[in-house]
Homo-oligomer: A and B are copies of this chain.
Amino acid sequence: MSRHRRSSSFASAAAVFTLFSVSASWAQTPGPLNAITDVPGIEVGHFPLPSSDPTSPPPITGTVSRAGAVGGVSQRGGAPGTRETDLLRPENLVEKVNAVVLSGGSAYGLAAADGVMLCLEAQGVGFPVGGGHVVPIVPSAILFDPGRCAAFSVRPNASFGLAACQAAKGGPVQQGNVGAGAGARSGGSKGGLGTASTVLTTGASNGIIVGAIVAVNSSGRTFDAQGNFYAGFLELDNEFPLIGLSATDVVPPSSLLQNTTIAVVATNAKLTKAQATKVAQMADDGLARAIKPSHGVGDGDTIFVMATGTDTRDATNLVNGIGSAAADTLSRAVVHAILAAQSIHVGSCSVKSYCEQFPNNCAK
């Protein structure tokens, strides 16, 4: 059934013609949850749970793979706050990560990963170091949100990580003002947390699942002055509201501070660390397509990859397709984050959501 927004009319002095687009020819569909948890073994936990009080501490988001997942990272934003990213370089020892923490709180929020480590240690999950001991491998990245609604000193600590890890589970993932996206802003609008997934259904890639979760706190914008998303053309299965395609550009906000978009891409493919790194690099193009500008001086944009390898086929010839799907899935997760974000209007702490600005686009 045709949805009319996918038709566009163009008129010139010489001729008037209408193009109706064909169905997208990607052999891809969203997974059943359209969430990173469509990748078997991937669990997500937030702490604290979502609150309507924007002065409460900013929650964190943990993405956990208790069985371990081969890790990769792409760090290209100009103002990062990270831990355990050096370890992810292909030449370094450890191959598998047990969790990735996305947190608010600027660099103070890196403390949340301490608690995730303690949670996983108690479960015996981590890199074995002899004597029955483990060191959980928990890379993390933060975004800047402190002092927006709560005091600057209100920030995630290790107890947040402990609780988020204990709460981690599969199933649907909440989006919008939740987890690391609770205090996020994006190009002057409310940012948030978003997730998406893609199931590859053709050829040698059949059965590969790619999921993404992202906290969007970007200096750049995700939509133009008419509310059309830059990444609108990547929609799968009518997952976005009835909106058009980006036709114009906008001036980027000049703020160099208080930004950063951070994400995790997960897949069931069996990747080496080097392959996971390449997938992270390709996934990073999904930020470029969804957010404009991106990777700027004041954005600490960082993308982690977790490859669980439960699909045990050799993926050597699938890396390009997985990376391309990772970029698209991440772009779509960014759109989901902005669509799910809710306005905050509490005293001097005020920021409008996309849906407050374009209510007709969110009527769906």
Contact = CB atoms under 8 A, between A and B. Distances in A.
Interface of A: 3-12, 14-15, 17, 19, 21-27, 76, 78, 219, 224-226, 230, 233-234, 242-252, 254, 256, 278, 281-282, 284-285, 288-289, 292-298, 317, 319-321, 323-324, 327-328, 360, 363
Tallying the copies of this chain within the complex gives: 2
Nearest to A235: B249
8 contacts: A8-B9, A8-B245, A21-B226, A76-B281, A254-B320, A289-B292, A295-B323, A297-B323
Contacts of A288: 284-285, 288-289, 327
B11 A250 contact: no
A355 to B, nearest CB: 16
A4 B12 contact: yes
Given A4-B12, A21-B225, A282-B294, 13 more contacts: A4-B9, A4-B10, A9-B9, A15-B360, A17-B360, A19-B244, A26-B249, A78-B278, A256-B317, A278-B297, A289-B289, A293-B323, A293-B324
A26 B245 contact: no
Contacts of A234: 249
A360 B296 CA distance: 38
